[in-house]
Amino acid sequence: MTTTPDQGNFDDKAPVFYMRKSLNMGKREFAIIAVFVVVGAVVYQFTAPPATGTSGFSFANIVNEARREMRVNPGRAEVIHSHTMPVPPGLREVRVVGVGRGGVTIVGERRSDIEHTLTVSSDGPDDETAKTYATRTVFVPDHVADTIILRADFPPEASQTATAVIKVPMSLEVRVETATGVTISDVAAAHVEATRGAITISNVSGAVGGIHVDGAVTVTGAGSVKMRLSRLRSQFGNITGGLTLDVRDGECSVTTSAGPVDIETARAEISVVGQKGPVVVRGADGRVTLDSPGAESRIDVRRAEVELTVAGPAPVTVLTTDQTARVIVKPDASFDLDAMSTDGKIQASDVNLTPEISGTNQKLVHTFGKAGGARVTIRNTRGEIVVRK
């Protein structure tokens, strides 16, 4: 029998079309039913009473256990411990250790003893027991050679948080280990290590040192600084004897200071403004800003943006790659510029200058202001050099 085209198309395609539609509808309805089953099971587990004599897994058991944990120590209490101790002969340093989640404040004063105050908050099964735990949280002094160590001692029960305020003679050095938030002022020297949060140090006649990760560091007024910093924002000002810094993944600024600056950096933003001393910055990635250096300086970085503001007679050398190097010329500045970019460009239209082009190199040599000024040398590979006012 011969089949017409219309009959053949109708017989072959119509059944397939309806069969696929039916299958798709079945899958969707099955998914909806499965979701309702899962939601119902979860709701049941949260709301159903536990079976007698069973300890099997259920979401209700998890919630009940969490509630029991939260009800273990509902009590709260606070106790303040204050003690004064004499300064033994030959004492050089006071060291504060183990305050942990609490902050430490150390203040140097014109005094001949050491006063320490420890404010302790504790929880417990009830308020009275919590007060007992807080009372047992104390500083345990340990005199070792020329150092007094104040070590915070916490009872193992419940949970305590302590904050410390310590007043010492201005002639002593101080050191803080393991605290959250540190403030130090008016002492002979300061060191921080294994701390968290913000660190603020001011008016230190000698050296400031330490290692800090996360948070913030501010040092204002110190004889010198030597620190290793990671993943934080740091500010240094009025440092009279120079800085040695290792800065990783953060921001660091140095202002109105004197003495040599030596910075090792990686993936950080570095800014040094008005330094009355030589500046050396080494590293990779990030950004370096050097504004009006007062002595011979050198920036030797890779894949880092550099901005140099020239104002005085200090020689400066800048080496970088892959990022822009900017030279900002201040009014009345006198210096000899020697700039060359390899596989990059030099833009100097803002100062009405045009570079010489030789192969893959572009070079600009020019004297700004009076002849015989300091030499400023810029080298960049695969990056631009921009000279502007």
- Write the pLDDT tens digit of every residue in 106-139: 999 999 999 999 999 999 999 999 999 999 999 9
* Euclidean distance between CA atoms 337 and 324, whole angstroms: 17
Q: What are φ and ψ of residue 20, in 5° steps? A: -65, -40
Residue that the structure tokens 């572009």 belong to? 362
What does the alpha-carbon distance between residue 147 and residue 323 come to, in Å, rounded to a whole number? 49
Distances (CA, A) of 158 to 66, 74, 103: 16, 10, 20
Which position has the token pair 């290792």?
246
CA distances from 93 to 81, 147, 185 (A): 22, 5, 14
| CA–CA gap between residue 60 and residue 42 (Å, rounded) | 9
Give the Cα separation of 371 and 337 in Å (integer). Answer: 11
Residue 238: predicted pLDDT: 98
Q: pLDDT band for 71, please (50, 70, 90 cuts).
A: low
Please give the average per-residue pLDDT across 278-301, as a whole number. 97
| Angstrom distance (rounded) from CA 198 to CA 177 | 14
Cα angle, residue 238 at apex, residues 251 and 317 outer, rounded to 5°: 60
Distance, in Å, from the CA atom of 85 to the CA atom of 62, rounded to the nearest integer, reads 50
Alpha-carbon gap, residue 8 to 63, rounded angstroms: 65
Which residue from 272, 332, 324, 331 is spatially nearest to 298, judged by alpha carbons? 272
Q: Report whether pLDDT(51) > 60.
A: no
Q: What is the mean pLDDT of the chain?
A: 89
Checking DSSP bridges between strand 361-368 and strand 356-358, what pairing results, if any?
antiparallel
Confidence of residue 320 (pLDDT cuts 50, 70, 90): very high
Q: In angstroms, rounded to a whole number, what is the distance separating the alpha carbons of residues 127 and 76?
A: 5
- What pLDDT does 32 receive? 73
Specify the pTM.
0.80
Residue 66 pLDDT > 90: no
> Which amino acid is residue 227, in one-letter code?
M
Average pLDDT for 94-99: 97
Section 29-36 average pLDDT:
67
Determine the pLDDT at residue 3. Answer: 43
Residue 275 has pLDDT above 80, yes or no: yes
Mean pLDDT of the 176-195 span? 97
What are the contacts of 125-128 at 24+ separation with CB within 8 A?
Answer: 125/72, 125/73, 125/74, 125/75, 126/74, 126/75, 127/75, 127/76, 127/77, 128/75, 128/77
